[in-house]
């Protein structure tokens, strides 16, 4: 499939209350690389990512997410989406080149759930990136959980139906899966993709705006999920649920928390999505099985703990 337009998740900025403990968590435990610092900001990337960085940790008084950004294929595409967003009646804020090291100009806007989403086209290649000539399978020895990339995120907020409409009709995403409300005319959860992944971003209906549920990092397979669980137990990392598997997306997973209380996920597998696929629908009575396929029920923390 030829990917054009919005290509993939590329950048997320998280708020953390203890910067040094958080760096240890994301670098030594999850396995990201630290590529730079600027005061209260630390820039990280996965070992299989080419861009300068993909995750930013910002020291703050409270945990949570500042913004979630997607990479587009060109400057022309960036301007195309600027016009479509403005035509939809949404204010666009310009972010100057260099605001993030290695990144060109970005545009930012607020979606109906209250979250800040950004788009960008230009980003420098990381100084230490996967080889492009005679590449080894992995460019360095595995560290920690060996997370290869920032993969997706789940956000909580109101107006999920309006958010679905915006992502589909303004940003050209597809809805891979959804959980229908009781009347089947509204959705209480949606999984959206701009690629052929099962999801690139997801939303769950929630009364408060701009809440962060989790950031997910890609692992290679079920064995790596098990090794990640070993690391969590060895270092007494707080686990929410898992190892287990999703019915929705079919991914293998563990949910756990960083030192500030932000939820993390390590994720493997999942089906491939294509634009001619129908949306997979789940009914509310099967939501437990959809989220946690083996347990077939939800736990209270997964539903209620957000930052």
How far apart CA 233 and CA 216 sit, in angstroms, is 19
Of 214, 220, 224, 295, which one is the catalytic site residue?
Answer: 214
Q: What is the pLDDT of residue 1?
A: 46
To the query of whether residue 255 is one of the catalytic residues in this protein, the response is yes
To the query of whether residue 235 is one of the catalytic residues in this protein, the response is no
Q: What is the pLDDT of residue 184?
A: 66
Q: pLDDT by residue (tens digit) across 20-56?
A: 999 999 999 999 999 999 999 999 999 999 999 999 9
Give the domain ranges of the chain.
6-120, 149-304
Q: What is the CATH number of domain 6-120?
A: 3.10.180.10
Determine how β-strand 263-269 pairs with β-strand 251-257: antiparallel
Of 152, 177, 213, 273, which one is the catalytic site residue?
Answer: 152
* 149-304 CATH fold: 2,3-Dihydroxybiphenyl 1,2-Dioxygenase; domain 1 (3.10.180)
To the query of whether residue 265 is one of the catalytic residues in this protein, the response is yes
- Same fold: 6-120 with 149-304: yes
Question: In the chain, which residues have pLDDT < 50?
Answer: 1
pTM of this structure: 0.95
Element spanning 23, H or E: helix 19-23
């Amino acid at each position: 499939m030829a990917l054009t337009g919005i290509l993939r998740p590329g950048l997320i900025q998280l708020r953390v209350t203890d910067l040094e403990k958080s760096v240890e968590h994301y670098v030594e435990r999850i396995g990201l690389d630290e590529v730079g610092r600027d005061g209260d900001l630390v820039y990280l990337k996965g070992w299989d990512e080419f861009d300068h960085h993909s995750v930013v940790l910002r020291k703050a008084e409270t945990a949570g997410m500042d913004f979630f950004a997607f990479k587009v294929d060109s400057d022309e595409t960036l301007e195309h989406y600027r016009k479509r967003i403005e035509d939809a009646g949404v204010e666009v804020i310009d972010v100057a080149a260099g605001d993030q090291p290695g990144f060109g100009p970005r545009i930012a806007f607020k979606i109906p759930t209250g979250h800040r989403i950004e788009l960008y086209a230009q980003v420098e290649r990381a100084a230490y990136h996967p080889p492009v000539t005679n590449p080894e399978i992995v460019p360095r020895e595995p560290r920690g959980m060996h997370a290869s990339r920032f993969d997706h995120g789940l956000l909580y907020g109101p107006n999920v139906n309006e958010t679905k409409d915006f992502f589909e009709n303004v940003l050209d995403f597809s809805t891979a899966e959804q959980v229908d409300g009781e009347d089947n005319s509204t959705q209480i959860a949606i999984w959206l993709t701009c690629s052929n992944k099962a999801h690139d971003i997801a939303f769950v209906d929630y009364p408060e705006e701009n809440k962060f549920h989790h950031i997910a990092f890609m692992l290679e397979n079920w064995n790596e999920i098990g090794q990640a669980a070993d690391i969590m137990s060895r270092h007494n990392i707080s686990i929410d649920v898992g190892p287990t598997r999703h019915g929705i997306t079919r991914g293998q997973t563990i949910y756990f928390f960083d030192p500030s209380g932000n939820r993390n996920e390590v994720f493997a597998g999942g089906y491939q999505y294509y634009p001619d696929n129908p949306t997979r629908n789940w009914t509310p009575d099967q939501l437990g099985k959809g989220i946690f396929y083996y347990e077939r029920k939800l736990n209270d923390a997964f539903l209620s703990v957000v930052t």
